[in-house]
């Protein structure tokens, strides 16, 4: 299994960076609600969840707590994303690379619309 290069170095794990990553993910989820003209739009917006994943990893590596308000926003955006998508067997990138489905769960979902 592979893991993409981290988007956020541990020293970049700040509340400000996390808030920005959450906001970008929330915006992507709103665009998922509107639907897509092509799969590249979807995978481009899905990249924002990977960025958020990287910032969260930075917090974990520094043993920093994620503020409750941001946890709530992440949970709400993830929940809405799950409602707008369905689980697929192969990740959305369509390559032979294997990503851990438990870690990169968001790569294994496709839009209902």
pLDDT per residue over 5-33, tens digit each?
555 666 678 999 999 999 999 999 999 88
Q: Where are the domains of the chain?
A: 12-111
Res. 2 pLDDT band, cuts 50 70 90: very low
Rounded to two decimals, what is the model's pTM?
Answer: 0.86
Contact 45, 31 (CB under 8 A): yes
Cα 85 to Cα 66: distance, rounded to the nearest angstrom: 26
Segments in 1-113 forming alpha helices (H)? 15-34, 39-61, 68-84
Interval 27-77: pLDDT, tens:
999 998 887 777 788 888 888 998 999 999 899 988 999 999 999 999 999
pLDDT reported for residue 100: 84
Greater pLDDT, 111 or 78 = 78
pLDDT at 96: 65
Q: In the prediction, which pLDDT does 44 show?
A: 84
Residue 110 bridge partners (DSSP): 86
Q: So what's the pLDDT on residue 1?
A: 44
């Amino acid at each position: 299994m592979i893991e993409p290069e981290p988007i956020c170095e541990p020293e970049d794990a700040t509340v400000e960076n996390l808030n920005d990553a959450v906001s970008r993910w929330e915006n992507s989820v709103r665009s998922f609600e509107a639907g897509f003209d092509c799969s590249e739009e979807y995978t481009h917006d899905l990249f924002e969840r990977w960025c958020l994943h990287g910032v969260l990893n930075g917090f974990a590596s520094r043993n920093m707590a994620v503020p409750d308000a941001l946890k709530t926003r992440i949970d709400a955006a993830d929940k809405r994303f799950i409602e707008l998508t369905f689980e697929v067997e192969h990740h959305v990138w369509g390559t032979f690379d294997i990503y851990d489905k438990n870690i990169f769960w968001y790569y294994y979902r496709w839009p209902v619309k």
